Amino acid sequence: MARILITSALPYINGVKHIGNLAGSLLPADVYARFQRSRGHETLYICATDEHGTPAELAAAAAHQDVFTYCEEQHRLQHDIGRRYGLSWDWFGRSSSPQNARLTQHFADVLEDNDLIEERVDKLVYSLEDKRFLPDRYIEGTCPHCGFEQARGDQCDNCGRLLDPVDLIRPYSVISGSTNLEVRETRHLYLQQTKLAGRIRAWLATRTDFPSFARSIALKHLDEGLIDRGITRDLAWGVPVLRGGQIRPGFEDKVFYVWFDAPIEYIAATEEWSDATGADWRRWWRTDAGADDVRYVEFMGKDNVAFHTVSFPATLLGSGEPWKSVDVLKAFNWLNWYGDKFSTSRGRGVFMDAALELAPADCWRWYLTANSPEHSDSAFTWELFQSAVNRDLADVLGNFVNRICKFCETRFEGAVPAGGEPGPLEAKLYADVAAQLADIAAQFEAIEVRKAAQALRALWVLGNEYLQEAAPWTAIRTDPARAAVAVRTALNLAALFARVSAPVIPFAAEAILGALGEDFPPAWPGGDVAAELARLPVGRKIEVPPVLFRKIEDAELAEWRERFKGAGE
Ligand SMILES: [Zn+2]
């Protein structure tokens, strides 16, 4: 038995996430966690909301709430939605927790003790009307190159040129629209990543289990050369900047940058879990407290890889303390909306709350796993979604389970039938199923989620083929013992399908296992397939489960296409 620590990228606090976020970090992390638990490994799946930074402050202001109340409400909302998707977090924390503040301040202290932090003077745009410094993307103005009037402070969306806010003609604050801006000097702390480049590269070389996608992104950033990184901001909402337990002089109105404290929350959220449950977070994170035995797997979208292979390791390595670092970094590409990006502001795409009104969580979990943006971007379409639900889930899996349970109910009084002996047909089935189970486990283990879904579907197909050939509805007229063997075997197949599909479709798996009188969550089947397919005790009463997967009608599809406009435009 191993110990496996799993984190998925922290969803930002400002609002419900779209299904692309689900596909690219939260869901595959959950699938992997459920798989490893079923294998009997001690598994800890940690996530949290990422709550600091300017967007949270502005979203709170737009909602006419103070930022603390806003974050509290949004956290509860995201927690609730995650649960409704079956995300089996052991803890869903908050980066605004006192644990994270303490730990963030601790890291800044030891990094400075190790001569890796220095104060520098920056020149930044200050809005007199907003009474705050403006981050680059909160300043807009006219592009000096093409005359576009809504060029952002960091880049012109019209001509694509990179800009500095001071280049803009007639700059204004995005927050208030005010043009009453001036450039002011402000002091900030810089983490000297340049000093750590060699150590980060050496550390990366020891991460032999990184998938090549994540490794290549990390190497690209190292090859381009690291820069020293500002880790404080002129903001009110965030972790206060302390030095040795006291507010750092001159930093009264500053906080740590959200990208400094957010990854530290992986550790702090584990501490939150520890404080709430009496567990010991150190044995997961401190190699001097047993964490050397832990396999740590991170899940995230490709845009987050640099922060997790350079910035966060810089914090951990620079501390000189024995912290656990990531062993496997699983990165995902984008899920697009008909070949275009999801967009909150333009209402393009489906968000996690709206999606659940259309179809149950398992339908989304299945679709987003089978069509995961794993090795390239993948495009969401309603047609593909319908096909995944109707053909894979309803026709192949749902129909098999329902058919055999109904037949058992009408012809065998709803009890696992006795009689007969397995024959050549069953022997072939055992061999085929054994090979398929090995493939499924190997794909889950390798976190190849698309291939895992394909392998699951192939297993369900085997069951359908078996039932077709064994044809108990014919056999029962001529050879009742033969029919009994087929029904018994097929009922056991249904249970087996549920057990190994549970990581992806936990709700359906629970319904199937419940109908067959089996426990949930299930353990992964053992190697003796003949024994696994004779697991249900003869005579046990079973039930016909409710319809597992309702088919999506063409009319519904048309309605959804209209309702979620922007699709295909
Ligand atoms: Zn321009």
Question: Each residue of 143-163: pLDDT tens digit?
Answer: 999 999 999 888 888 888 888
Tell me how far apart the alpha carbons of residues 464 and 471 are, in angstroms, rounded to a whole number: 10
The residues near 65 (Cβ < 8 Å, ≥ 6 apart) are 73
Find the 164 Cα to ligand 1 centroid distance in Å.
12
Label residue 166 by pLDDT band (50, 70, 90): confident
List Cα–Cα distances, 219 to 8, 123, 200, in angstroms. Answer: 22, 31, 10
Taking the centre of ligand 1 as the mean of its atom positions, its distance from the CA of residue 149, in whole angstroms, is 8
Look at 518 and 55; give whichever has higher pLDDT: 518
In this predicted structure, the answer to whether residue 568 has a pLDDT above a threshold of 60 is no
Expressed in angstroms and rounded, the spacing between residue 143 Cα and the centre of ligand 1 is 5
Please, which residues have CB within 8 angstroms of residue 558's CB and are 6 or more apart in sequence? none
% of the chain residues with pLDDT over 70: 98
The helix (H) or strand (E) run that includes residue 76 is helix 67-84
Which residues make Cβ contacts (< 8 Å) with residue 383, sequence separation at least 6? 557
Contact 332, 368 (CB under 8 A): no
pLDDT at 391: 98
Return the top range by mean pLDDT from 7-21, 161-175, 429-443: 429-443
Closest alpha carbon to 369 in 437, 299, 308: 299
- Of 388, 372, 390, 377, residue with least CA distance to 338: 377
Contact 412, 487 (CB under 8 A): yes
Residue 141: name the closest of 174, 168, 175, 181 by CA.
168
Average pLDDT over residues 200-208: 96
Of 254, 252, 236, 121, nearest to 185 (Cα)? 121
Which residues have C-beta within 8 Å of that of residue 394, sequence separation ≥ 6?
548, 549, 550, 551
Evaluate if pTM is beyond 0.85: yes
Is the pLDDT reported for residue 55 higher than 50?
Answer: yes
Mean pLDDT of 435-462: 98
Instruction: Quote the Cα angle for 249-101-14, to 5°.
Output: 110
pLDDT at position 316 is 98
CA–centroid distance, residue 399 to ligand 1 (Å): 57
User: How confident is the model over 96-112, as pLDDT tens digits?
Assistant: 999 999 999 999 999 99
What pLDDT shows up at residue 155? 84
- What token pair was written down for 547? 């319809």
**Nearest-angstrom CA–CA distance, 44 and 271:** 12
Q: Give the pLDDT score at 344.
A: 65
Average pLDDT over every residue of 481-501: 98
Choose between 569 and 18: higher pLDDT.
Answer: 18
Q: How far is the CA of 168 from the centre of ligand 1 (A)?
A: 10
413 Cβ contact list (under 8 Å, min separation 6) = none
Structure tokens belonging to residue 556: 């519904």
Residues 225-253 have pLDDT tens digits of: 999 999 999 999 999 999 999 999 999 99
Give the integer Cα–Cα distance in Å for 256 and 274. Answer: 24
Answer yes or no: are the C-beta atoms of 181 and 172 closer than 8 Å. yes
Instruction: Compute the distance from residue 151 Cα to the ligand 1 centre, in Å.
Output: 7
Report CA(429)–ligand 1 centroid distance (Å): 65
The pLDDT value recorded for residue 348 is 77
Task: Report the C-alpha gap between 335 and 368 in whole angstroms.
Answer: 9
Q: How confident is the model at residue 569 (pLDDT cuts 50, 70, 90)?
A: very low
CA distances from 549 to 359, 389, 417 (A): 9, 7, 26
What is the pLDDT of the chain when averaged over all its residues?
Answer: 95
Q: How far is the CA of 153 from the centre of ligand 1 (A)?
A: 11
For residues 19 and 342, give the distance between their C-alpha atoms in angstroms, rounded to a whole number.
9
Residues listed for the chain: 569
Both structure tokens of 56? 């949270």
List 393's β-bridge partners, or say none.
Answer: none
Cβ-based neighbours of 153, under 8 Å, separated by 6 or more: 125, 134, 135, 136, 137, 138, 139, 140, 141, 163, 164, 165, 168, 171
Instruction: List the one residue out of 525, 412, 518 whose CA is nearest residue 459.
Output: 525
CA angle 263, 353, 391 (to 5 degrees): 105
Looking at residue 137, what is its pLDDT?
A: 79
Q: For strand 139-142 and strand 169-173, is the pairing parallel, antiparallel, or unpaired?
A: antiparallel
566 pLDDT band, cuts 50/70/90, is low
For helices 54-62 and 67-84, what crossing angle results, to 10°? 100
Cα of 155 vs centre of ligand 1, distance in Å, is 8
Judged by DSSP in three states, 96 sits in coil
C-alpha 52 to ligand 1 mean position (Å)? 31
Q: How far apart are CA 323 and CA 289, in angstroms?
A: 10
Share of the chain above pLDDT 90, in %: 90
DSSP state of 337: E
| Rounded CA separation 157/161 (Å) | 8
Q: What is the pLDDT of residues 419-431, one digit of tens each?
A: 999 999 999 999 9
Q: Which two tokens stand for residue 225?
A: 């050369």
- Is the pLDDT confidence value at 567 over 60? no
pLDDT at 167: 87
Indicate whether 135 pLDDT > 90. Answer: no
Tens digit of pLDDT for each residue in 3-27?
Answer: 999 999 999 999 899 999 999 999 9
- How many whole angstroms from 165 Cα to the centroid of ligand 1? 13
> Burial code of 212-250, b = ≥16 C-beta within 10 A, e = fewer?
ebbbebbeebbeeebebbebbbbbebbbebbeeeeebee
CB 150 within 8 A of CB 175: no
Provide the 8-state DSSP code for 407: H
Q: How far is the CA of 142 from the centre of ligand 1 (A)?
A: 8
How many angstroms separate the alpha carbon of residue 346 from the centre of ligand 1? 22
Q: Give the confidence band of 345 by pLDDT, cuts at 50, 70, 90.
A: low
